[in-house]
Amino acid sequence: MAKAADPKLLHILEEYGETPRDAMWDCHGTWVIYHRAIERIAARAKITFDMPEIVEARSADKIVAIIARGFMGDRSEWSFGEASPGNCKNSYPYAMAEKRAKDRVVLKLVGLHGLAYSEEESDDFKGEPEKPKRQVGINPQTGMATAHALKKDDGPDNWQSFQCELLECQTVPAVAKLAMAWSSVAERDKWPAAWRDLAKEELNKRREVILNGPPDDDDVFPGDRPSNGHISTLQAG
């Protein structure tokens, strides 16, 4: 059974438009927040970042330590981000160190520090799964089957037509109109529940793309300030 979340944690998530189901999971008693959720929170909180400072950089050994400083209104916080073979299995230590530092700063600025960890810290939870076990082809956040998981032979004959019409939608009202039309088709043709759920997920994705554009690159964090071409490097102790 999942550990009860601190009411303050739930309140802060709600304040920034996040739900526990979509933003976090219970890792054996420790609440862990998805990196994507932290990025969304940073954007909504209008958090900005200075260029990070590299404290230690030993590329050959895949050891990197970075300091990141973030700003929210008249407040600022800083934190380290570290990546090494001892705490990170990722092949890109610089990117991982930066994500860890920035995620920690965001958690501090919005008041979540001490209530939850970033998922980028998951390698530090030794002997525990990073996330709930994933079933092949199942979205871990929604529990819905993904398009790649469902065999074409198991799905409705007109699924491809649905996808083609969905891609042609360029406005939210057009997506809503398509949803109503295909809801009737799904009812008439007795689509399996998994395919109805998948259709809803695809419709929601299309709405998000229309409203917000394609998903950002993971390595581009909301609030990054333009580079001035200079990164301070501190001497490692």
* CA-closest candidate to residue 109, choices 20, 226, 227, 15: 15
Token representation of residue 41: 């929170």
pLDDT at 158: 81
How many alpha carbons fall within 13 Å on the CB side of residue 198? 22
165 and 79 inside one domain: no
Q: How far apart are CA 99 and CA 81, in angstroms?
A: 7
190 and 89 inside one domain: no
160 and 113 inside one domain: no
Structural domain of 157: 152-212
Tally of domains in the chain: 2
105 and 166 inside one domain: no
Q: Residue 236 domain-assigned?
A: no
168 and 98 inside one domain: no
pLDDT at 2: 53
Q: Residue 224 domain-assigned?
A: no
pLDDT at 87: 85
Torsion of CA 97, 98, 100, 105, to 10 degrees: 140
- How would you class 224 by CB atoms within 10 Å of its CB: exposed for 0-12, middle for 13-18, buried for 19 or more? middle
Q: Residue 135 domain-assigned?
A: no
169 and 102 inside one domain: no
pLDDT tens, position by position, 23-57: 888 877 888 898 889 999 999 999 999 999 999 99
pLDDT at 233: 40
108 and 199 inside one domain: no
CB 55 within 8 A of CB 234: yes
* CA-closest candidate to residue 202, choices 231, 234, 171, 159: 159
177 and 100 inside one domain: no
How many alpha carbons fall within 13 Å on the CB side of residue 229? 0
111 and 187 inside one domain: no
The bridge status of strand 30-33 relative to strand 117-118 is: parallel
23 and 66 inside one domain: yes
Number of H helices, E strands in the chain: 7, 7
Regions of the chain short of the pLDDT cut 50:
1, 125-153, 229-237
Which pTM does this prediction carry? 0.56
Q: How far apart are CA 87 and CA 121, in angstroms?
A: 8
pLDDT at 169: 85
Q: How far apart are CA 135 and CA 144, in angstroms?
A: 10
pLDDT at 222: 64
